[in-house]
Each structure stands twice: as C-alpha cells, then as structure tokens.
Structure 1
Amino acid sequence: MTFPADRGLAWPVDHPPLVTVGDPMRPDPARLAALIGESITTGWFSNGGPLHFRLEQALTGLAGAEQLDLVSSGTMALMMALRLGNLPEGAEVITPALSFAATAQAIAWCGFRPVFADISPDTLTLCPRAVAAAISPRTAAILPVHFLDVPCDVAALGDIARRHGLWLAYDAAQAFGLTLDGQPIGVHGDASAFSLHATKVLHTGEGGFVVTNGAEASARLRRLRNFGLEAGRMTGPGTNGKLSEAQAALGLALLPDLAAEIAARQALRALYDAALGSVPGITLHRGGGGASAGLTTYALRAAPALRARIHQALAQGRILARNHFPLLCGPGTRWPEVPIITAHRQPIAPQVAPEVLCLPFHGRVAAEDAQRIAAIIRRVVAEGHPA
C-alpha cells in the first residue's frame, strides 16, 4: 500500500507497523490447495459443484437459516432478494439515505427506483416513521440496511410492510453473525442479502448469499441466479449470479479459522470499549435492545471537526481508519436532485454522515495496536478539551 506525497504524511525511519481498517482472513495454503485440487480432479469449476454445495450447507447451519443460497457477490445477493418479490418494472423501493453504494445501485440495476428515507438518530438505520411518510401508490418494497453491525427496527418495519402489502428485503451485508433477541438476523423479512466479500468476517474473496423463508423461494432464487433456466429452458428472468468452485474453496478453507477470528474480534471490541467508553466528545456506535455485538465494524461518532482531527492523527500514526459512508443522494451523487424523506424537521442522515469513523477491526489488530489507537484518540480529544 502506498501513500501519495500530496497527503502530507511523512513517515519517520523507525515508524510503527501499518494498521489497516480491514485485513481479510488468509487461508492455510495447503488446505486451500487441497480443495482447489478437488475441483481440478473432478473438472467441476462452476454451476453448483461439490464445493459450492458443501459451503452452502455449512453456512445454512451457521446462519440458522431455513433456506440459504450462494451467489456471486453481495450486490448480486441484493438484486436476487429484490427480484424474488416479483416487483413491477419501475416500482419504488424505499431504502435509507445512508449506506454503502451497493444498496441503491442494486435497486437501480433491477429496474426499480430508489426512494431515500431518513435514518433514526441513535441506530443510524432506516427510520420507520420516515418509511411511512415515503410510501406512495408506486411503492412495492422496502430495502432496509442493518448498518454498521446495528440491526434495524425489524418489528416496526415488518408491521409497515404487512399493513401495506410491501416486499421486505434486508441488506445484511454488514450483519454476518448478528443476532437479535437470540435469533439470527436473517430470519426477518421476506429475504436477507449477505456479503462474503473479503472485507467481511468470513469471505470467499467475492461472494454472497441470500436467506429466504421457504423451499419455494429458494427454488426461484436458484433459477434467477442461473439465467432463469428450468430443465434447460428459460422460463423467467435470470442472470449469471453463480458462485464458482474456486470461491467456494476459499470459503471452505477459512471455515476452520472462523471461530478464532470471531474470538479475536470480540476481544478487540472489549479492548476498544474499555479504552474509549468514557472519552468525552465521542460516542461508541452500538446495538441495543437484544442485539448481539457485531463482528464486521467498530464505529464511533464525533463532531465533524473532531472526527477529522482524529482521522488525521491516526493516519499520521500509520493507522488507517475509514472516515465515510457518504449519502446516497444529493449533490455529487448519482441522484443529485432526489430528496431525503424524513419524519423530522430536517433530515438526520446529512448531519450524521460526517460524524462516523470506523476503526481497524479484524483479527490482525494486536492488543498493543488497539491501545495505541485509543491513546491517539484520547490525546486528540484532550488537546481540544484542555483541563
């Protein structure tokens, strides 16, 4: 990784090691080679081979899912979850204004129109009151996001969807392993789309999966990901959304290391919580109300000027935090003229977006790294709030 000179960052000769915001698990080379060897021996490289089937079965158990189907990416999972709803072309899909780009891009690629609703100020997830205000005669679906490891208000959103007859698909790309009141997060709604991108706790390099609530929906999804084919005949819409055997091999090779990675992330979260929980001027972003601790991100919030100072100080210490999840609509976006529908006097999302900072969060962050990160943050805060 290189750092352009125009960033103004000059490293001392005896600099500390670089700590990145994400660092994917790496498989044991021999284990991965053996799995790839199976694919070579059988000559089966795609189209739902043995490795694909084994990973699908393993993930079904891990996710506590009734039905789970692998696809080629997290974005493809979103598209499949929407397409399962049989929505009319051009239908409106209500989604939060604050999320990763894939959420809105998936809606548009499916031929639907995203309608951006505001977020709740505490959870930063889709606000049910804003959803209710955004419903029109053209609304066909809701696509909420379990954002930064914090679950949506699934009860309120589920009630709105039922009362208005709307398809409810969740973007759970950041929610692998998350539970709510003891239940896996994927049980909510009509479908939930998960990511297996390399930035996630378990990954296949690129990949994803969709959790559905029955065999019929699963069968339809398998047709959708395979060109709409049934017994070799194209009977409906579809695309090439299959996960390859090489991707499945990577996921299977990482499965034996997953428990240790989860434990490392849980320990890191505890370290951050202890070191940063009482620092004035920052708020640790957490779930509540029966939600388990997340495994994908560790986020805090601070006023924009303070966040900028913290981000710069961390970068100068060779610590790469992530300082943005930009708005999906408004100036400088694909939808510059589209408003945010809110239940408040002013939308919350534009105020919150400049406050979020994601710290390095993965099993390669050592305890001393976490302590150094916390020390830098405490120093920056103290400099702005002298005793």
Structure 2
Amino acid sequence: MSIPAAAPLFGAEEREAVDRVLRSGMVAQGPEVAAFEEEFSAIVAGRTAVAVNSGTSGLHLALLAMGVGPGDEVIVPSFSFAATANVVALAGATPVFVDIEPGHYCLDPAAVEAAVTPRTAAIMPVHLYGHPADMAAIGAIAQRHGIAVIEDACQAHAAALDGTPVGAFGKTAVFSLYPTKNMTSGEGGMVVTDDPQIARTLRLLRNQGMEKRYENELVGFNVRMTDLHAAIGRVQLRKLAGWTEQRRANAAFLDAGLAGSAVGTPSVAPGARHVYHQYTVRVEPDAVPGGRDGLAERLAARGVGSGVYYPIPIHRLPSFGLALDLPETERAAREVLSLPVHPSLSDADLKSIVEAVVAK
C-alpha cells in the first residue's frame, strides 16, 4: 500500500538509544526500565508504573495482582482484541461478555449493570480506538457493588475524560507498547496503579516471584521488559504529545472531508479526548456497493490501506464459542472500517484517503 494503515515511526534518536544500551552491556531489565517507568507515570497522573514485555502480560498480571482467580467473573466487552478476554481465562476466572454502546464502541454501562452478579470481581472497560469509555458511569457501578475496575488502555495513550487521563480511573490500568500503537517500545506493556502493594506484587509476578535474587516469594513469570525496549520507549514517550496532536489533526481533516459521505465518521463523547489509535468509520451494508468489505477492496485498489478491528466478536471465536445476544457488538463487527490516521501521513495522503472513500 502506498498509504499504509499503520506506520511505526523510528528515527535516529531511537537508534542512538538502542546503541547506548548495547554499549553499556546491560540489556536485561535495568536502569532504562526504571527510568521509563518513572517517566511514564507523568501521563497517568503520577501513578506507579510497572513495565512488562507486552500489554497482554500486563493485563494478566493486573488481574492476578488484584486477586482475581477461579470462581470469579470479570465483565468485558466482546468487541475488542481477544487478549481482553484471554487474560481473564488465563487467570482462571470467567469472562462475562456484554454489549457496547453504539457511538464510541466502548462498554455500555447499562449492560454492565445488568451483568453484575455476586461472583463479579472486576469490570474491564476497553478504551477502544483511543476513545475513553464512560468511566463515570462504570466507576459508579463498581463502587455501588464493591468491585474493582481494571482499565484496558492498550490503545489509549494520552486519552482523557473530563481532564483525567485514562489509566487514572481504575485500581489498575494497562497500556500496550506494540509497534502499531500510538507509541511503542518495539514490544512491551505498562501496568499502572495507585496501590503500593499491588505495584509490589506486579514487580514480583513479572520477575519469577522474586524481589531479591533466589528468594522467590510467590510463583511468578518471566515477563520483564528489557533495557533495549525501555530505551526505545523513553524516546517515543517524548514524542507522544506531538504525535497525538498530529493524529487529532489528521482525524479532524478526515472528519471534514468525509462529512456528508456514505460513511459514518467517529463520534466523540462530551469531555472526551480521543487520541485516534484508529480512525474508525461505520459503513452500513447498503451505504456503498459491497458494504464495508467492498469499500476496503476499492481503497486497496487505490493504494490506501485499511483494517477491520474486529471482524469476529470475541465470544464467537472458537476459543470461547458462545451464543450470546449482543446486537451492537454484532453490528459493529459487520460495519467498522479503520482508515489511516497515523502521524506520518502527508496532506496529500489525507486528500487521497478522502478521495478514495468518496469515489463513486
């Protein structure tokens, strides 16, 4: 594709950071990781940050550190990447899939409320595509029932709701640092929390259950972040604010160019700061010839990449195989299409994207 759907950005600063670590001879978890954790905390209202090797590992460890396990239920959206539910199952708990609200593709608070049972241990809202979930309503439900909130913020670096950054609402939150995210460490994840005991447990879990070498306090994993990855992440973190504003500017261009077209542009909730990990339009089946998939094919023919996130709801994947009535989830899976919005797009690229979408 001449205009790819995603484009990780690496420059001279990232290469120099990697070379610095290689010259130091300390490539496993070390001072770069510690510095990255401290610097990352600034974008989550000063919460403690614990670096791990992926967002999936972070979600898994967050559940375990909060005591979620067999016999527990965790309310999750089915319209998300499979990792959101996989980690619940890996913790020995049961994912309870509920529907999304149609405007922003995040958990529907009314559906969450209806799904709470005596076994509910946590709610895991996903800030999908970089748009914050309705944390005021979800937080009120959690408080009313005495259950925890774990934010899946893997796609939402620097997103905010009413001035509060995502990651600062739940007891824990997790960010992914995968290459296609709004910032990357090459691969990695970051768990944030305001609870010192949870933070300590997270550090134990990521490092074979050890704080002191060979003094294993619990059964843990090897899911540490390397200093090589942390060094890249530190550079990218410094670029995040500028990249975020460019994403938002690109989204505004697409909003204006696609206004009145056959596709539905993303809506933004009052008070929400959308960071556009994905610029996701809705293509109703009869809106364009061939519907969503037909539009994707025509974009590809013009050199414009796109993606469907996600074509199969998690509950219907073979790994879960559940028959549930989640109409908004099913509708979204049929109609969503994500267009390029990344910071490396030129003005000409943006014009080409609009022209490709509206072409007859």
Q: TM-score range by the shorter chain?
A: over 0.9
Task: State whether residues 40 and 237 of structure 2, in contact with CA within 8 Å, keep that contact through their aligned partners in structure 1.
Answer: no
Taking the TM superposition and a 5 Å limit, the aligned residue runs for 1:116-195 are 116-195=97-176
The code of the aligned residue for 1:19 comes to: I
Please identify the structure whose Cα radius of gyration is greater. 1
C-alpha distance in 2 between matches for 1:150 and 1:293: 5
1:328 aligns with 2:299: no
User: Residues 1-387 of structure 1: matches in 2 within 5 Å?
Assistant: 18-28=2-12, 31-47=13-29, 49-232=30-213, 233-279=215-261, 281-304=262-285, 305-340=290-325, 347-380=327-360
Letter in 1 for 2:342: H
For 1:258 and 1:94, locate their aligned partners in 2 and report how far apart those are by CA, in whole Å.
Answer: 31
Q: Secondary structure at the match of 1:145?
A: coil
Per the TM alignment, residue 255 of structure 1 is displaced from its structure 2 partner at its CA by 4.1
2:264 alignment partner, SS class: strand
Whether contact under 8 Å (1:99, 1:326) holds in the other structure is no
Any conservation in 2 of the 1:328–1:335 contact (CA below 8 Å)?
no
Query: Alpha carbons of 1:108 and 1:88: their partners in 2 closer, same or farther (altered >3 Å)?
Result: closer
Q: After superposition, what is the alpha-carbon deviation per residue over 1:147-167, rounded to whole angstroms, capped at 9, x for unaligned?
A: 122211111211221222212
AA aligned to 1:127 is D
Provide the secondary structure at the position in 1 that maps to 2:272.
coil
Unaligned ranges ≥5, structure 1:
1-16, 381-387
Q: Distance in 2 between matches of 1:290 and 1:170?
A: 18
Q: Is the 8 A contact 2:265 2:282 kept in 1?
A: yes
Report the CA distance between 1:21 and its aligned residue: 0.8
Alpha-carbon separation, structure 1, partners of 2:235 and 2:337 = 32
CA gap of 1:308–1:328, structure 2 versus 1, over 3 A, is: closer
Partner amino acid for 1:118?
Answer: D
**TM-aligned CA deviation for residue 66 of structure 1:** 2.0
The letter of the residue matching 2:318 is T
Percent identity over the alignment is 33
Q: Matches of 1:37 and 1:100 in 2, distance apart?
A: 34
Structure 1 position 33, deviation (Å): 4.4
Letter in 2 for 1:312: E
The one-letter code sitting in structure 2 at the alignment partner of 1:175 is A
Measured in 2, the distance between the counterparts of 1:98 and 1:19 equals 26
Distance 2:219 2:133 in 1: 30
TM-score w.r.t. structure 2 length?
A: 0.92
Letter in 2 for 1:353: A
Q: How many aligned positions are there?
A: 355
Q: Deviations over 1:17-66 (max 9, x none)?
A: 611110001131xx34443343334432113x111122112211233332
Aligned residues of 1:104 and 1:328 also touching (Cα < 8 A): no
Determine the structure 2 residue equivalent to 1:13.
none
Q: State how far apart, in whole Å, the 2-side matches of 1:110 and 1:161 are.
A: 20
- Distance 1:196-1:329 versus aligned 2 partners, 3 A rule: closer
Check whether the contact 1:65–1:211 (CA below 8 A) recurs between aligned residues. no
Q: CA deviation at 1:180?
A: 0.8
CA–CA separation in structure 1 for the residues paired with 2:42 and 2:80: 28
> Does structure 2 conserve the Cα–Cα contact (< 8 Å) formed by 1:324 and 1:354?
no
| Cα distance between partner residues in 2 of 1:72 and 1:330 | 26
User: 1:338 offset after TM fit, Å?
Assistant: 4.5
Question: How well do the aligned residues superpose, as a CA RMSD in angstroms?
Answer: 1.9
Q: Give the drift of 1:90.
A: 3.9
Structure 1 residue 263, shift from structure 2 partner:
3.5
TM-score under structure 1 length normalisation: 0.86
- Quote the Cα distance in structure 2 between the aligned partners of 1:88 and 1:260: 40
